Each structure stands twice: as structure tokens, then as C-alpha cells.
Amino acid sequence: MAASDEYKKTERILIADDEPLFLRTTGELLRKSGFECVCVPDAKSAMAELETGDFDLVLSDLNMPGNLKLELLRKHSDLQPEIPLIVITGVPTLPSAIESVRLGIADYLVKPVKFEDLLNSVKKALANSRRTQTRSSRGRAKTAEKSNRIIGECSQLRELLEIINRIATTDANVLITGESGTGKEVIAREIHDRSHRSGGKFQVIDCTSVLEALFESMLFGHKKGAFTGAVSDAEGLLKQCDGGTAFFDELGELPAPLQAKLLRAVQEQTFTPVGSHTPVTVNTRFVCATNRDLELEVASGRFRRDLYYRLGVIHLELPPLRDRGDDVLLLANHFLEELRPEDSSPLRMTEESQNALMTYSWPGNIRELRNVMDRAIALCTTEEVTLADLPERLRSQEQTESVVLNAEQGPEASIVPVESESESAEVPTREEAIEQAEYQYLVGLLKACSGNVSEAARQANLSRQGLHKLLNKHNLRAAEFRNRVEKKQD
């Protein structure tokens, strides 16, 4: 990619911990790894540094003298939401875990922690933060027009936007369905932003990561003393988005016991925090998304019929990317512009690379396309994205299409020499080979386990959380493999 040499500043990390040995050792090791570190032993000092300093990451204990709370860090005028927070504690508690999940911290580490694991967490958080800030610096200017986040000209999308315009000003609950990666959350945000609730909070609740033991406390909040470790009152997510929109992503993954607990909140806009006897009333719109067929789920008894009717007042079905025609290229060009570094030249695609994008089936839809273009930007050495910059699965398909095209043109055309795979195919890098092998392993694992995450994690000797991280890395959803099995049975 054509670009001037980028000036790379030393990233600054604020480390706050009341254990002198941990503070000194961690600071020294991170400095040796190329970071600038400011180490403070208590909450008061941390807040003083935040008032005067400019930091790229905060690494903090939750149990220091001075009652340092993540809310203070988040709300501090000099600490932007994009700056990642990593919590590291020697005394993990249920309330602190709930608090961390609520605030969307980058990582939650428990002492003792290996420095290698800590360093990986820091690097990953900073990389995500850099990418977010680079993109948002261009994106914020564009979001003045709220429809700019929806890219496409196909008839299905135009019809969808017309419906969104009509329903956005109402308070009707909305159910958004479609394959994984089709942009369900983008549509949900569009509905929120076009509504009279746009001044309220848009709260995302990921149903795939909900633990039954934490569900009520996270959603409804809890009172001090409600359970061991509940040392103070905590406000639930529904209360936090009072006057706004609650977006339940992957609703079809919500276990049956939790569906019953959600029903009352949806139909009455009322709930009772854990440990309290006083109901709380809110004014919240519910927008939900799933890649499952909830009508089939209801018919099979896996999803509550009454909850389905309450949440599906308006039903929007998103088309898969493979059915959106030239929108593939519109989106690809949009991502090339959005994701490229600010100091780099604009990129364009060769005809070959465009053909590869248009003929590919995009099982991961828009999310997969975005990742493919992000990869192409990283690998591109000129101002053109070529076939070589695309993943092997797209390159091999383009080669297959070329062979079929030659064959269809008749015997004379079919004898045109075609390079053998060994001559034309590039040898993947070690990292690419590992990525491909890992992807294939996960696909095989999910097929063998019919999308059962617990069983897949057991067979892979991984925790559920560890398996979810790998699945997210490769844009795989276990639910899709359960759906395939069910469709075959039908």
C-alpha cells in the first residue's frame, strides 16, 4: 500500500495497583516491551494523572484504597470511550465481574497472571483501540446523516429503508432476522437513531454470552446484600436505557428460563431488581435480532410463543449479501475507504479482484466482506487491490470460474494453456496456513457437535469462553450449524 512512513508514537499506559511488587514489575516489563508507563499506587493518584495526562490504555485493580471505580474512569472528561480499560484483580467478585461486563472493558484478568498473557491482552486492546479511533475519526463526520451507515442500492434494501422510515417514529417492538453477518445491529441502530428515542441510550445485550446466574442482576440490577459480594446497589441494563432502546442480539440463543424472566419486562415495562421488593418501571423499546427461524423454534417448543409475539410486532428480514448484486462492490469500496489509514492513498480494485468478490457466495455476509477488505488493505503493496491480496478461498474460486468460462467457450478456447495449481497458486504464509487450518478445524468441530458449544468446547479441551473467542475470530456462529441440522431433519 502506498503510504508515507508512519510515525509511531510510544503508547502510554496508566497502571494503578496498590501492590508495590506487581506495580514495579509490570511497569518495568511493559517498558521493556516498548511502552511508556505511569505507575500509581492508589485511586487518588490515578485520577490526578487522568486529569493531566494523555493515555492510550488504563490497567487498573478494582480493589485499591480510594474506591476507584470504572464508572469514574469512563465518565472522566479526558478519558474517551475508545480508550481501553483492563481490569486486573487478585480478589475477583461477582459484582465486579458484572460491573466489568456492563462497562464493556477490554479484558478482566485475575492474579496471578502470566506476563505473556497480560502483554497479549494489552497489545490486542491497543490494536482494537487504534483501529476504532482511526475509523471513527472519519466516521463521525459522516454520521451526521444517519442513513450513511447503510450502504447499498438493491431493491430489497430500498424497501427495507422505507419500512424503517415508517416504523422508526413508533414505539413498536421490532424483530430483525437474517443470516449471521447481514447487518442486523446496523439496522437496529438505524431504527434507534431515526426515532424520538435517539437521545436515549442504545444498549446492546448479547444473548450468546448471557450466564443464567448473572442474567437477572445484569438486566434488572440488584440491591446491596442480595448475594455474596453485593456490597452496593447496582443499576441494571434496562434501567440504564430507560427512554432509549434495548437491543437483544441473537435472541434465539436465550435459554428458556431466561425467556420467562424477560417476558414480564417486555409486556409490562416493569421488573424487580434482585434482592428488592420494589418494582421498577421503565420506558424502553425492544429491538431484537436472531439468525434462527423463531417460528420453527416456537413450534418445537424451544422459544416462548407469548414472548415471540411481544417482540415480533414488526418483523424485518435482511437479505444475504449473495442476493444483493452490485451492493457487494459498493460495500467493498466503502470498506476500502473507511478502513485505510488516514495518511495512505485511496485504493481501487482490479477487474480480477472485483470478479472474485462478485462470484463468491459470502457465507459470512457483510461481516466477512469487511474482514476480507481489511486484510486486503494490510497486504496491498500498491494502490490497487489485486487477486493476490484476497484470501485463498476467493482466489481459488476465481480460478475455477476462469476454467469453466474457457470450457464454455468451446473446444478451441478450452485448449488455452492454464497454469497448474502448483505453478500459479501462491504459497500461503505460515500465519495464513495456521488461520486456514484453525478455521477448518472449527467448522468440522461444530458440524460434529451439531452446533452444541458446550460439547464442542469439551472435545476441543477449551472453556466455553475460549471457544467463543475463536468462533468470533473466524466469524463462525454455532447457531448456524444447529440450524443446518434442524433443516436436514425437516
For residue range 227-274, what is the model confidence (pLDDT) as tens digits? 877 778 888 899 999 999 999 999 998 988 899 989 999 999 999 998
Rounded to whole angstroms, the Cα distance separating 185 from 266 reads 19
What mean pLDDT value characterizes the chain?
Answer: 80
What's the pLDDT band for 420 if we cut at 50, 70, 90? very low
CATH of the domain at 337: 1.10.8.60
Residue 114 maps to a domain: yes
pTM: 0.58
Rounded to whole angstroms, the Cα distance separating 40 from 20 reads 9
Q: Is residue 259 located within the same domain as residue 183?
A: yes
Q: Is residue 122 located within the same domain as residue 184?
A: no
Residue 154 maps to a domain: no
Residue 412 maps to a domain: yes
Most trustworthy range by pLDDT among 253-257, 346-350, 441-445: 346-350
Q: Is residue 342 located within the same domain as residue 289?
A: no
Residue 275 maps to a domain: yes
pLDDT (tens digit, 9 = 90+) per residue, 17-54?
888 899 999 999 999 888 989 998 887 787 777 777 77
Specify the residue for cell string 478482566. 108
Q: Is the dihedral of CA 280, 284, 286, 287 positive or negative?
A: negative
Share of the chain above pLDDT 90, in %: 38
Beta strands in 211-276 (DSSP E): 221-222, 234-235, 245-249, 270-271
Residue 123 maps to a domain: yes
The answer to whether residue 313 scores a pLDDT higher than 70 is yes
Element (DSSP H or E) covering residue 15:
strand 12-16
Domain extent for 441? 434-489
Residue 410 maps to a domain: yes
- How many residues in total does the chain contain? 490
User: Are 424 and 396 a contacting pair, CB within 8 Å?
Assistant: no
Q: Is residue 173 located within the same domain as residue 291?
A: yes
Domain end (from 117, 137, 157): 137
Residue 6 maps to a domain: no
Q: Is residue 391 located within the same domain as residue 467?
A: no
Q: Is residue 169 located within the same domain as residue 302?
A: yes
List, in order, residues 6 or more apart from 326 with CB less than 8 Å away: 153, 154
User: Are 273 and 223 a contacting pair, CB within 8 Å?
Assistant: yes
Environment class of 166 (CB within 10 Å of its CB; exposed 0-12, middle 13-18, buried 19+): exposed
Question: For the chain, what is the domain count?
Answer: 4
Q: Is residue 337 located within the same domain as residue 293?
A: no
Residue 429 maps to a domain: no
Q: What pLDDT score does 41 carry?
A: 86
Radius of gyration for the alpha carbons in the chain, expressed in angstroms and rounded:
25
Q: Is residue 183 located within the same domain as residue 284?
A: yes
Q: Is residue 187 located within the same domain as residue 313?
A: yes
Of 50, 43, 57, 49, whose CA–CA distance to 12 is shortest? 57
Q: Is residue 327 located within the same domain as residue 262?
A: no
Q: Is residue 297 located within the same domain as residue 222?
A: yes
Of 350, 316, 201, 213, whose CA–CA distance to 274 is shortest? 213
